[in-house]
């Protein structure tokens, strides 16, 4: 590996320099071209060599001894050699396949383990399981599950096509937008991260420019620091955004500020929906005064906001967080309705925007390319579950549930194979998940660290980190291309996921289908060569692999600042020739298809469903993304510095409970309890507390999570029968001073 050198690599939070001495990472430094580099990479040296690294394969004692009285999560592990571990896993996979079929295998992976295109854990696992005969898969993501269900019904497009394609760029907003109305915030800390990496972090810079230009930037959120300081904060109670949107619609309609021509030509169902928000025998009028009582926003402010939106070019921005709550489909649908009422969909700098600031590359002007890809193959098993319904699946095998107009049956899972991701970080109601996790006969996990998921496995394979292997770094919307060199030798007896699956596939007689007789380096060359040829065919010049290895990275010439794409322009220019993919071919303000599903919470148009909170717990909890890591990655290194998570509370709520800054507090409700260090801020509204995700689930003997993971408190319920997305936000809790040791 060489005694002393430095190289650039990339990650989901961007590029950085890695310094190596004597086969050991000694420090990292920011990438020179990044205007606002995250601090996350500083944790890398400690994390790579942390005591929580898994040094070799392990097997759970109670599982290998077939002791039914032992439980995952409270059992001890026995170290074993690689050959024995591979044999055990192969025999177990074969047994499950022969006894129950591949429909009894669930392939769990969340894809964030590495920014590299070949050593992409999700692709590796899914390709292996497809080679072996298939597996039960998952649909959508925890971040956007409800949105992925509702947007095709309303706009007729796949949600990710909207996010990455049909969206105004920051450049277009700068040139054309007068009003950027932000529901749920645009937080620069969230935009540190993007799938595959965001090399030039520039969200804050854009807002500095927008502020100097005098744009009307309004952030509607329970927390002031959910958006850059250039925005004007309009505090709102969690879960009430749809009530505000309906009141804005009321003002637009009653003051004749709607674009009726646009509604007539490009939309379907407005006249029917109008009777709901204007009021009739069944429904109260959604006036600003009505909304004020619900949202906590003055009626006069609601009226002024609506009028301002109608006076200039307006984008309605909706964060991903808004649909991560009960009835999360409605704010996305209603935001589309408001944009349609303003009549600016299809105009530069106007319309709707989903996910600005949620991840770093949304709104970038780089040309969308097909990057290097490790093909997963075809899954012979058609069965799937919505991704956030895993506990329901484990606890209710063969149970019935509704999803997007269909009545479905949960599969009976006997083996869970997890590679890349930590469900005991991001799933809801972790105590319930811990119960469901006991039901499969076998759990196999690949992990570099002893996360809560690894601690609840039966067979644990130690996996390398990205610094212990070579790869190609590329991200959608990012103009950079990286060769990610191997920096150090594998720590302990860790192996690459690919090599583990190659060994297993040999035992399972599917080696040729999985490996195609290629090593990791040959695969990297192969997928890069395909990318190289595709890029050339599009007129994009990229270096060949040997040149890229020598250069380490390059910035491709794929910026489109001068030719900003206008979302929905073709539809606006000719809705007959370029219809949307909805039944009507138009924007569906009323959806007859959804109405026929007969879901009470979604009657065919967007409505406000009042949050139902347990009155015994007077505080609403929001659980945003962390500022100091990606999900739960590098958490072991963070806990060496800060042992407890941080709970943010208003001064009024702290005084009411006799709490002081920095105190250790217990946050609890009917589902669980956790510890946190208290931070008192004036930037959060009274009645709301905030606890970021990312802590490793660490329950003590009393069931108290000492690390402070908010998902011991969140409800494991779907957003609705339509989307079945994660409903983590707007959860009721109480907070008190912790009295224990």
Q: What is the pLDDT of residue 369?
A: 79
Question: How much is the pLDDT for 111?
Answer: 67
Inter-residue contact 678 to 647 (CB < 8 Å): yes
Contacts (Cβ under 8 Å, ≥6 apart) of 591: 153, 154, 269, 582, 583, 604, 605
| pLDDT beyond 80 at 575 | yes
Residue 395 has pLDDT above 90, yes or no: yes
Closest CA to 112 of 122, 103, 102, 104: 122
Give tens-digit pLDDT for 241-277: 999 999 999 999 999 999 999 999 999 999 999 999 9
Per-residue model confidence as pLDDT tens digits over 153-178: 999 999 988 888 899 999 999 999 99
With cut-offs at 50, 70 and 90, classify the pLDDT of residue 2.
low
* The predicted structure's pLDDT at residue 379: 98
Residues designated catalytic: 110, 112
CA distance 647 to 678: 5
What is the share, in percent, of the chain residues with pLDDT greater than 70? Answer: 99
- Across 162-166, 307-311, 395-399, 459-463, least confident range: 162-166
Mean pLDDT (the chain, rounded): 95
pLDDT of residue 383: 98
**CB neighbours of residue 419 within 10 Å:** 27
Alpha helix positions (H), 17-59: 44-48
Rounded mean pLDDT of 75-104?
Answer: 98
pLDDT for residue 640: 87
Would you say residue 186 has pLDDT above 90?
A: yes
Q: Which of 109-118, 165-174, 219-228, 661-670 has the lowest mean pLDDT?
A: 109-118
pLDDT at residue 561 greater than cutoff 80: no
pTM: 0.96
CA angle, 317 then 320 then 326, to 5°: 115
Count of CB atoms within 10 A of residue 44's CB? Answer: 22
Q: Given this model, what pLDDT does residue 110 score?
A: 77
**Parallel, antiparallel, or unpaired for β 384-386 and 137-139?**
parallel
304-321 pLDDT, tens per residue? Answer: 999 999 999 999 999 999
Instruction: Give the DSSP letter of residue 550.
Output: H
Q: Given the structure tokens 């790579």, which residue do they identify? A: 48
Distance of CA 204 to CAs 209, 322, 489, 545, Å?
A: 9, 22, 38, 34
Q: Which pLDDT score is estimated for 560?
A: 57
- Position 378 scores a pLDDT of 97
Count of helix runs (H) and strand runs (E) in the chain: 25, 30
Looking at residue 109, what is its pLDDT?
Answer: 84
Q: How far apart are CA 692 and CA 27, in angstroms?
A: 27
* Range 673-686 average pLDDT: 98
Task: In whole angstroms, give the CA distance from residue 603 to residue 613.
Answer: 22
Strand arrangement, sheet containing 179-183: 232-235, 216-221, 179-183, 314-318, 351-354
CA dihedral sign, ordered 497, 139, 245, 587: positive
Whether residue 566 has pLDDT greater than 90 = yes
pLDDT for 1 beyond 60: no
* DSSP 8-state symbol, 675: E
Pinpoint the alpha helices (H) of 620-725.
635-639, 651-656
**What is the structure's pLDDT at 114?**
76
Tokens coding 325: 């709550």
Share above pLDDT 90 across residues of the chain, in percent, rounded to a whole number: 90
């Amino acid at each position: 590996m060489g005694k002393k050198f430095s190289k650039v690599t990339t990650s989901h939070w961007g590029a950085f320099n890695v310094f190596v001495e004597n086969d050991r990472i000694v420090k990292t430094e920011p990438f020179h071209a990044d205007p606002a580099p995250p601090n996350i990479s500083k944790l890398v040296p400690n994390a790579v060599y942390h005591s929580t690294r898994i040094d070799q394969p392990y097997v759970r004692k109670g599982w290998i001894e077939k002791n039914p009285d032992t439980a995952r999560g409270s059992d001890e592990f026995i170290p074993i050699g690689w050959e024995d571990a591979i044999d055990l896993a192969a025999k177990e996979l074969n047994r499950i396949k022969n006894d129950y079929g591949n429909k009894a295998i669930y392939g769990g992976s969340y894809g964030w383990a590495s920014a590299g295109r070949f050593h992409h854990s999700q692709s590796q696992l899914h390709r292996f399981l497809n080679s072996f005969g298939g597996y039960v898969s998952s649909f959508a993501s925890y971040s956007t599950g409800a949105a992925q269900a509702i947007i095709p019904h309303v706009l007729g497009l796949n949600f990710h096509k909207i996010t990455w394609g049909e969206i105004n760029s920051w450049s277009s907003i700068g040139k054309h937008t007068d009003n950027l109305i932000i529901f749920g915030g645009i937080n620069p800390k969230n935009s540190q991260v993007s799938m595959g990496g965001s090399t030039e972090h520039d969200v804050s810079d854009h807002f500095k420019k927008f502020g100097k230009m005098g744009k009307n930037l309004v952030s509607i959120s329970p927390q002031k620091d959910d958006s850059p300081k250039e925005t004007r904060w309009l505090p709102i109670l969690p879960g009430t955004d749809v009530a505000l949107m309906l009141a804005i619609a009321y003002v637009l309609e009653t003051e004749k500020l709607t674009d009726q021509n646009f509604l007539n030509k490009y939309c379907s169902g407005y006249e029917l929906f109008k009777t709901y928000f204007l009021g009739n025998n069944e429904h109260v009028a959604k006036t600003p005064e009505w909304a004020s009582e619900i949202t906590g926003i003055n009626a006069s402010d609601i009226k002024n906001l609506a009028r301002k939106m109608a006076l200039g070019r307006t984008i309605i921005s909706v964060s991903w967080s808004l649909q991560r709550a009960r009835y999360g489909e409605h704010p996305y649908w209603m935001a589309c309705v408001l944009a349609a009422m303003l009549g600016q969909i299809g105009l530069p700098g106007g319309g709707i925007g989903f996910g600005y600031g949620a991840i770093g590359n949304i709104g970038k002007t780089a040309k969308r390319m097909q990057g290097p890809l490790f093909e997963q193959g075809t899954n012979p098993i058609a069965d799937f579950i919505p991704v956030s319904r895993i506990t329901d699946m484990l606890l209710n095998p063969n149970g019935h549930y509704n999803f997007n107009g269909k009545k479905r049956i949960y599969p009976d899972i006997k083996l869970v194979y997890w590679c890349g991701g930590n469900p005991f970080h991001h799933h809801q109601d972790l105590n319930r998940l811990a119960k469901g996790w006991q039901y499969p006969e076998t759990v196999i996990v690949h992990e570099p660290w002893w996360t809560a998921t690894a601690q609840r496995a039966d067979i644990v394979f130690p996996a390398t980190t990205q610094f212990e292997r070579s790869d190609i770094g590329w991200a959608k919307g990012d103009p950079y291309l990286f060769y990610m060199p191997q920096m150090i030798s594998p720590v302990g007896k860790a192996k690459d996921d690919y090599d583990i699956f190659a060994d297993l596939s040999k035992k399972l007689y599917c080696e040729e289908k999985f490996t195609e007789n290629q090593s990791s380096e040959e695969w990297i060359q192969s997928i890069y060569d395909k990318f190289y040829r595709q890029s050339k065919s599009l007129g994009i010049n990229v270096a060949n692999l040997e040149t890229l290895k020598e250069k380490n990275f390059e910035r491709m010439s794929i910026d489109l600042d001068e030719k900003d794409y206008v979302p929905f322009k073709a539809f606006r220019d000719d809705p007959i020739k370029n219809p949307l993919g909805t039944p009507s071919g138009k924007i569906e303000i009323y959806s007859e298809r959804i109405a026929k599903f007969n879901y009470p919470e979604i009657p065919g148009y967007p409505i406000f469903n009042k949050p139902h909170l347990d009155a015994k717990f007077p505080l609403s909890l929001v659980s945003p993304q962390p500022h100091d890591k990606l999900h739960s990655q590098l958490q072991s290194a963070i806990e060496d510095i800060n042992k407890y998570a941080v709970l943010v509370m208003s001064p009024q709520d702290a005084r009411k409970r006799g709490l002081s800054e920095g105190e250790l507090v217990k946050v609890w409700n009917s589902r669980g309890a956790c510890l946190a260090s208290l931070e008192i801020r004036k930037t959060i509204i009274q009645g709301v507390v905030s606890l970021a995700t990312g802590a490793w689930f660490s329950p003590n003997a009393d069931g108290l999570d000492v690390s402070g993971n908010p998902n011991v408190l969140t409800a494991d319920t779907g957003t609705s029968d339509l989307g079945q997305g994660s409903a983590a936000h707007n959860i009721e809790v109480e907070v008190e001073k912790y009295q224990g040791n």
